[in-house]
Amino acid sequence: MLTIECNNGAMSENRLQTAMDNWAPRFTANGVEASDLPRITAAAGDWSGWCAAWSAVASEYEEMGREALEAGATVSAGEHLARAATYYHFGKFLFTPDREAMIAAHRSAVTCLTDSLPHLDPPGRRIEVPYEGSVLPGILRMPDGAPRPLPVVMLFPGLDSTKEELRMVEESMLARGLATFAVDGPGQGEAEYSLAIEPAYEKAGSAVIDRLQAENGIDPARIGVWGVSLGGYYAARMVAGDSRIKAAVSLSGPYDLGDSWERLPSLTREAFRERSKAPDDEAARLRASDLSLRGRMAAAKAPLLVIVGKRDRLFDWREGMRIAEEAGGPAETILLEEGNHGCANLIWHHRPQSADFLARHLIG
């Protein structure tokens, strides 16, 4: 339930509380220290201070990372800078009151992640995929010691997510011998400024596949996809729209975003309006209806795993079950009775299973 605050006699949504109610487990599941959350929210005070509070703590980790680099402690440097990138990202992820502050936090997130890449284990490499006059930036990581060429899993973030948030998901795939490519698609992360959200995501995803198939050390015949939230919709679109996908995981993805529009927090609706380049709220609602899997899933022939939680406040869990039911190929489901959106509160009940599913079908 959303808490309500009184502002000059008018009732309005307490956005700081909304963010914590909906996404606190997500923060800790993706690399945020639990002990940092109370001091971040206390420093924020209200939603207007959200970005600054996260950025302040992010800068602490960034400073530790820069100092570690100067001292030659590269492992620590990679850890600190990657964590700083995650914090800067969460400062930016749904923040609209101050666009300049949001962009500054995002720029710092990108810089910190990029600087961390050579020092991660295994290291990462930035690749920019040309697309419609712009680029889709992504991070390729390849597990050490695994026989080449490697299967690769494309990782699709959600509406308010970016590649900077997916490091923990990468780790679960890498540990099983899978290469990963976390990518900002149209309307996401670095691509949100030049490209609008693309309902037919197979267009962008196919461009990414073309690039990965040309990458030395990657097996062009063993490509999978994993996506969360709106990225779960993208993953389903991909497996239905490009036969080169050999296995897919859709985590808490909508079947039809328009059907869920009224359930979404105002923060999420605002983010969709901006990132879909819609001129107003009504246009955004209509564009949301374009993100639909109706009549498409029968073409999905590759193995598909759909994960949903019954306590998801954004997308009804039955939408995910419908994705699996309409799939034209083998489909498995994980239904978590207490799972929230993204099932971030039950991460160990599905993240290892997702990686195992992809490894089973891409490695054998």
**Both 63 and 132 in a single domain?**
no
Domain boundary among 98, 120, 142: 120
Domain coverage including residue 100: 12-120
Residue 181, phi then psi, degrees to nearest 5:
-135, 100
Nearest to 201 by CA among 320, 296, 315, 328: 296
Residue 324, phi then psi, degrees to nearest 5:
-70, -40
Number of domains in the chain: 2
Q: Report CA 302 to chain centroid distance, whole Å.
A: 22
* Structure confidence by residue, pLDDT tens digits, 120-142: 999 999 999 999 999 999 999 99
* Structure confidence by residue, pLDDT tens digits, 202-223: 999 999 999 999 999 999 999 9
Rounded Cα distance between 335 and 357, Å, is: 15
How many CA atoms does the CB half-sphere of 346 hold within 13 Å? Answer: 22
Cβ atoms < 10 Å from Cβ of 39: 12
CATH code of the domain containing 173: 3.40.50.1820
Query: In the chain, which residues have pLDDT < 70?
Result: 1-13
Tokens of 350: 């599905």
**Both 95 and 146 in a single domain?**
no
**Both 282 and 297 in a single domain?**
yes
Backbone φ/ψ region at 9: left (φ over 0), alpha (ψ -120 to 50), beta: left
Tell me what pLDDT residue 16 has.
87
Q: Is residue 44 in some structural domain?
A: yes
CA angle 138, 209, 351 (to 5 degrees): 65
Yes or no: say if 37 and 28 are a contact pair by the CB < 8 Å rule. yes
Predicted model pTM: 0.94
Yes or no: say if 16 and 95 are a contact pair by the CB < 8 Å rule. no
Rounded Cα distance between 245 and 154, Å, is: 10
Q: Is residue 4 in some structural domain?
A: no
CATH code of the domain containing 23: 1.20.1440.110
Rounded Cα distance between 364 and 358, Å, is: 9
Tell me what pLDDT residue 19 has.
84
Tell me what pLDDT residue 94 has.
86
Q: Is residue 303 in some structural domain?
A: yes
Sign of the alpha-carbon dihedral angle for 229, 3, 33, 41: positive
Q: Is residue 2 in some structural domain?
A: no
Q: Is residue 3 in some structural domain?
A: no
Domain boundary among 120, 147, 180: 120
Q: Bridge partners of 12? A: 5
What are the residues whose beta carbons fall under 8 Å from the beta carbon of 271, sequence distance 6 or more? 94, 96, 159, 160
